[in-house]
Chain A
Amino acid sequence: MTTSEPSAAVVPVRSAERDVSPTIPLVAAATLAACVATAGVWVGSRFHPMGAPAAAGLAASVSLLLGYKFGRRWGALPARIHRLMFRIADELAQYRAFTRLLRDQGKRITETTDDAAQVILSGLREMDAQVALVVASLEAEVPLPAHDSLQRMTQSISAPVVEMLGKLQFQDVTRQQIAFLAKLSLVVDEHMIELARQLGDRRSLDRVGEFKQMFNQALGDCVMTSQRDDHHVASGLDLKEAVGPKVELF
């Protein structure tokens, strides 16, 4: 399995010119409300004695709604919120150094265990070859009474070798598990990049990434039953997938 680093960089928060004042939407709303209310009172008082207060109340409500709507669209963010957004984006970028470190460590573990497993395998093969030589020379040179006991001893040395050779396959299984962790950390990285990008663009704040979808996509990379079971637990599902036979001839 191979993994590749995401290429995106954190996008800086834009539109600093909007850092004027948080009160602008409120002032705009109040001015609009006053104008509409004045007009309403004037128009209402010409038709009915209760027309003026009713029109004023209605006008004020409508203008408050309009003020809220326009203020929300055109208003400015307070500078302290922008500073907070900058800080969060910056820290998200720094977390990527940690996930990168996790991947590097995983790679190092894989390389180290691979080297160790191969050295152990070579040693076991050498031992096995030497035992085979001993057995051959026993048959040729050692008198029969001593032969049997020596052969039992050599067999007891040789027997566990094969089992150990099989057990060393753990290295490949571990390698694939670590590769999967590296892939997961890349998913987290991508999401952090996306979040940082959204921090820099207020218009995209409502379009939060499909985190659940990303998480479920990771399930596609789970090749082992144990990985898939772990994923289901993390997803809050009480689900155990059927384990097929370890050996199956079609």
Chain B
Amino acid sequence: MATTIFIVDDSATILMSMETILAKAGFAVAKAASGEEAVSKLQGGLKPGLIITDIHMGAMNGIELIKKVRTMPGLQFVPILVVTTESQQSKRDEARAAKATGWLVKPVKPEDLTRVVKQILPNG
């Protein structure tokens, strides 16, 4: 069974684009359009092998989502990739401190995305 990758982004275009790229690479994909929706789906039992999140979203931003996920049972060690337009080093450090796994700057080339995902999920 394919590993599920959970994409969280408030841009419908990004969700659709990444979903297609990752599905073509053989992964199952779940999506959420906000941090709150992501938390709700995770609390509802979704167990992704990897979470990919944007930073700039509505009420709950990506960093807050990562912190929240790290407190949820069974999700403390799930890899979380940040995909964002943000390029400041201080924000990267913030994400690292929140225990994110990696950082990708948009726009992400499909081959970069799949390469990094396969690096994180070698058995995915």
CB pair B13–A172 under 8 Å, yes or no, is yes
With A and B bound together, what is the CA distance between A130 and B17 in angstroms?
17
Q: Is B118 part of the binding interface, using a Cβ–Cβ cutoff of 8 Å?
A: no
Q: In angstroms, how far is the closest chain B Cβ from the Cβ of A133?
A: 14
Q: Is A171 part of the binding interface, using a Cβ–Cβ cutoff of 8 Å?
A: yes
With A and B bound together, what is the CA distance between A205 and B8 in angstroms?
50
Considering the complex, which residues of chain A in the window 163-204 have a beta carbon less than 8 Å from any beta carbon of chain B?
A: 163, 165-173, 175-176
With A and B bound together, what is the CA distance between A114 and B116 in angstroms?
27
**Chain A residues near B107 (CB, 8 Å)?**
166-167, 169-170, 172-173
Q: Is B40 part of the binding interface, using a Cβ–Cβ cutoff of 8 Å?
A: no
Interface size on B, residues (CB 8 A): 38
Partner of B112, one of A114, A168, A243, A246: A246
Per-residue interface assignment for chain B, residues 24 to 48, with 1 indicating a CB less than 8 Å from any chain A CB and 0 otherwise: 1000000000000000000000000
Q: In angstroms, how far is the closest chain A Cβ from the Cβ of B19?
A: 9
CB pair B20–A128 under 8 Å, yes or no, is yes
**Chain B residues near A173 (CB, 8 Å)?**
85, 106-107
Give B21's nearest chain A residue, CB to CB.
A165
Give B14's nearest chain A residue, CB to CB.
A172
Partner of A243, one of B11, B87, B91, B113: B87
With A and B bound together, what is the CA distance between A76 and B97 in angstroms?
61
Q: Is A10 part of the binding interface, using a Cβ–Cβ cutoff of 8 Å?
A: no
Q: Is A84 part of the binding interface, using a Cβ–Cβ cutoff of 8 Å?
A: no
Considering the complex, which residues of chain B in the window 83-124 have a beta carbon less than 8 Å from any beta carbon of chain A?
A: 84-89, 91-92, 95-96, 100-110, 112-113, 116, 119-120
Q: Is A242 part of the binding interface, using a Cβ–Cβ cutoff of 8 Å?
A: yes
Partner of A242, one of B58, B89, B103: B89
Considering the complex, which residues of chain A in the window 117-135 have a beta carbon less than 8 Å from any beta carbon of chain B?
A: 117-118, 121-122, 124-125, 128
CB pair A246–B88 under 8 Å, yes or no, is no
Q: Is A1 part of the binding interface, using a Cβ–Cβ cutoff of 8 Å?
A: yes
Q: In angstroms, how far is the closest chain B Cβ from the Cβ of A139?
A: 18
CB pair B20–A224 under 8 Å, yes or no, is no
**Chain A residues near B85 (CB, 8 Å)?**
172-173, 176, 223-224
User: For B9, B17, B106, which residue has the most chain A Cβ atoms within 10 angstroms?
Assistant: B17
Partner of A121, one of B17, B88, B102, B119: B17
Give A2's nearest chain B residue, CB to CB.
B58
Give B88's nearest chain A residue, CB to CB.
A223
With A and B bound together, what is the CA distance between A173 and B17 in angstroms?
13
CB pair A166–B104 under 8 Å, yes or no, is no
Q: In angstroms, how far is the closest chain A Cβ from the Cβ of B5?
A: 15
Mind listing 11 A-B residue pairs with CB under 8 Å? Answer: A1-B56, A2-B58, A121-B16, A124-B20, A165-B21, A171-B11, A172-B13, A172-B85, A175-B11, A243-B87, A247-B104
Interface positions of A (Cβ within 8 A of B) = 1-2, 114, 117-118, 121-122, 124-125, 128, 162-163, 165-173, 175-176, 223-225, 228, 242-244, 246-250
